[in-house]
Chains A and B, each alone.
Chain A
Amino acid sequence: MTAFGKLIRTTAFRLTLVYLFLFALFAASLLAFFAWNTRRLITEQITATVNAETSEISDTFARRGLRGLVLAIENRALRPGANLYLVTTPAGQAIAGNVGSLAPGVMATTGWSETAYRRLDDQDSTDHYALVRVTELSGGFRLLIGRDLEERRRLFGIVAKAAQWSLLIVIVLGLGGGIFVARRVLHRIDAMTGTTQRIMAGDLSGRLPVGRSGDELDRLALNLNAMLERIEALMMGLKEVSDNIAHDLKTPLTRLRNRAEEALAKSRTEAEYRSALERTIDESDGLIRTFNALLMIARAESGQARGNMDDFDAADVARGIHELYEPFAEEDGMTLHVKAEPAPLHGNRELISQALANLVENAIKYGKPDLAVQPLNAGAATEAERKTILIEAKRAGDRILLSVTDRGPGIPVGDRKHAIERFVRLEASRTQPGSGLGLSLASAVATLHGGDLRLDDAHPGLIATLAIPALSGSSDRLAAQTQDMPQKAA
């Protein structure tokens, strides 16, 4: 497509053409109206003057006879810019007036007519035009009074010229404006198209140019840029995940394979084979767990789990998880407490339970006080207190807070955001078993419910909080229900 072809195909240009046509039509009708009205006015004026003079002169003829008539005509005909006068005998001979020649047959009929004429004193030989009235006087004499139409013609000429010029200006300005606007739009669209093509070719970092005018194209570009931002983030996430999957699934797979190989090569007794196979099964169970966690995170992040939501009290979830983990924590030398206030919310109970379970597991695994690094007098008082983990459910404003607080070493501020990412296992936790997906899942669950996962300092220790929008509307009903129920002793 040629540049011009592209230009005239733009919407802006086509719109300009339509406007151009409309403006031309408007100008033409305005001028036509003006011309027609002027013509009417001039004609009316001439008619009135001629009528008045006709009656005046007829009057003179009636009172003073032919002589008086001729005298009056001669008198009037001499005035500068005089009208046309002509008096003829019944035989048709001119006896007074300033008309040299007339179109034939004008004097034969009475009444109004337009005619070509020449004045007696005219030097040039061109015809002029006039509007005349012929009246029959008594005795067969005829009187012609008329007025030159030159003025009317000149006015018409002016109007016609104005029409031509205005049409020309409208066309030139319109086309110019159209081309200017179209090129401007085309230029920006071309820039956008170029960027989009680069992005489609694989360069996701490209962004559309945004002008400063804030017009519709700028807003479009801004929105497209926001969309690109999101796509890039998703792609980056996907790439990171697949890299991590490759790493974190390949490592145990390699271990699995090595063990099988080793068992084949070295095992002698049945017991040796048996223990090698048992380790293989353990390893593959770990793999399955990692895989399930990844799938669940993907589901939560894509919002697919939204279908399974209902209203429930987060306090029940907190008590349930406390009940499940309390013996385990005790076995591990920690004490698990729960503090649950009514906290109604709408969500996927199973996912929220699992998210909270992950936080509790983390607290049990990593939340043990490091008494060598942080001696007892540094923060909380007794060793027993430092070995306490608190599960808490409460409502704060329009949010439900489900938090797990431990008194362990905590997570340094700079590492907190990083800790939530998939497969990330902070240096301190590498020696512990785990997939590195617990916080990611908790975070994905919070996001699915329109909330977030917060990690804060407990001075000392870590507070991990799932902050989720509270149930609105029916919240009072649920809260009332919860209060009615006798609360089980924690």
Chain B
Amino acid sequence: MTAIATDTQMRLLIIEDDRESADYLVKAFREVGYVADLAADGEEGLALAEGNDYDVLVVDRMLPKRDGLSLIGALREKGNRTPVLILSALGQVDDRIKGLRAGGDDYLPKPYSFAELLARIEVLSRRRSGPAEDTTYRVGDLELDRLSHRVTRGKEELTLQPREFRLLEYLMKHAGQVVTRTMLLENVWDYHFDPQTNVIDVHISRLRSKIDKGFDRPLLHTIRGAGYMIRDGLR
């Protein structure tokens, strides 16, 4: 696992015109140790984003003066590649596609849970600061070779189904970070709807029985109210 300093403070810009939800976000991010600036309209947001170096921008789609998508377009045109997470009340698949086409990196429909937002922001900022494109991922004694599709724990080779491999690959790529069920469904299965049942949990428990069963130290952890995380417990 690449040692990226998550302890250096994360700087966010929140561009949101609803005062109450903006204040809630700023406060909530401060509690987890982030610095969050606030812009109340599109023009102000664009000026702040251009003038400062943020780790992630959280942009509402419908903003006064300049809407979120055009703001992102303007930033990208000027070569600013800061990761952008779009927050929007428009949550349908085609809205999402529109948002990502405009240059957004992730799309979260309102209402959202803060845990989901936090997990997604972590993943976005990690993506920016470290190229997680290594050919081998390692967590503790678990090793995944992305080229040969071999997975080993200690000296034992594990046999995974193709989908289980992709699930583990995604979890290990974001090792040490919370990954939500929706993120897994979107990134591993490429579905953007919300199954009424806990289908993902069953996949996780199958994977867990393969990688953790019979070993002293569990690596795949359930984070209550948020999702899952793969992590070497001792670190």
Query: Which of chain B's residues has its CB closest to A364's CB?
Result: B197
How many Å lie between the Cα of A438 and that of B97 in the bound state?
24
The answer to the question of B198 belonging to the interface, with a C-beta cut-off of 8 Å to chain A, is yes
Known contacts A328-B202, A354-B193: A288-B92 contact under CB 8 Å: no
The answer to the question of A460 belonging to the interface, with a C-beta cut-off of 8 Å to chain B, is no
Q: B-facing mask of A280-302, CB < 8 A → 1, else 0?
A: 01001100110010011001000
Contact B191 A327 (CB under 8 A): no
Partner of B197 from A320, A328, A351 at Cβ < 8 Å: A328
The answer to the question of A350 belonging to the interface, with a C-beta cut-off of 8 Å to chain B, is yes
Task: Say how far B102's CB is from chain A's closest CB, in angstroms.
Answer: 15
Q: How many positions in chain A have a CB within 8 Å of any CB in the partner chain?
A: 35
Task: Say how far B222's CB is from chain A's closest CB, in angstroms.
Answer: 15
The answer to the question of A325 belonging to the interface, with a C-beta cut-off of 8 Å to chain B, is yes
Partner of B193 from A281, A299, A320, A357 at Cβ < 8 Å: A357
Residues of A within 8 A of B194 (CB): 289, 292
How many Å lie between the Cα of A99 and that of B111 in the bound state?
122
The answer to the question of A308 belonging to the interface, with a C-beta cut-off of 8 Å to chain B, is yes
Contact A289 B196 (CB under 8 A): yes
Residues of A within 8 A of B162 (CB): 488
The answer to the question of B203 belonging to the interface, with a C-beta cut-off of 8 Å to chain A, is yes
The answer to the question of B94 belonging to the interface, with a C-beta cut-off of 8 Å to chain A, is yes
Task: Say how far A354's CB is from chain B's closest CB, in angstroms.
Answer: 4
Query: Which of chain A's residues has its CB closest to B91's CB?
Result: A292
Q: B-facing mask of A342-379, CB < 8 A → 1, else 0?
A: 00000010110110010001001000000000000000
Contact B197 A308 (CB under 8 A): no
Residues of B within 8 A of A311 (CB): none
Most buried by B among A295, A324, A354, A488: A324
Contact B193 A434 (CB under 8 A): no
Contact A361 B192 (CB under 8 A): no
Q: A-facing mask of B202-224, CB < 8 A → 1, else 0?
A: 11001000000000000000000
The answer to the question of B195 belonging to the interface, with a C-beta cut-off of 8 Å to chain A, is yes
How many Å lie between the Cα of A288 and that of B112 in the bound state?
9
Contact B197 A299 (CB under 8 A): no
How many Å lie between the Cα of A364 and that of B196 in the bound state?
12
Contact B97 A308 (CB under 8 A): yes
The answer to the question of A270 belonging to the interface, with a C-beta cut-off of 8 Å to chain B, is no
Residues of A within 8 A of B163 (CB): 323
The answer to the question of B189 belonging to the interface, with a C-beta cut-off of 8 Å to chain A, is yes
Q: B-facing mask of A86-106, CB < 8 A → 1, else 0?
A: 000000000000000000000
Residues of A within 8 A of B97 (CB): 308
Residues of B within 8 A of A285 (CB): 113
Q: B-facing mask of A165-190, CB < 8 A → 1, else 0?
A: 00000000000000000000000000
Contact B206 A327 (CB under 8 A): yes
Residues of A within 8 A of B193 (CB): 350, 353-354, 357
Residues of chain B in range 69-116 having any CB-CB distance to chain A below 8 Å = 91-94, 97, 109, 111, 113
The answer to the question of A331 belonging to the interface, with a C-beta cut-off of 8 Å to chain B, is yes
Which positions in B face A, CB cutoff 8 Å? 91-94, 97, 109, 111, 113, 162-163, 189, 191-199, 202-203, 206, 225
- Report 14 cross-chain contacts, Cβ distance below 8 Å, ordered by A residue: A288-B111, A292-B194, A305-B92, A305-B94, A308-B93, A308-B97, A320-B189, A324-B199, A324-B203, A328-B199, A331-B202, A351-B93, A364-B197, A438-B196
Known interface pairs A281-B113, A324-B191, A350-B193; 19 further A-B residue pairs with C-beta atoms within 8 A, sorted by A's residue number: A284-B111, A292-B109, A295-B91, A295-B92, A305-B92, A307-B94, A308-B93, A320-B189, A325-B199, A327-B206, A328-B202, A331-B202, A353-B191, A354-B193, A357-B193, A364-B197, A433-B196, A435-B196, A488-B162
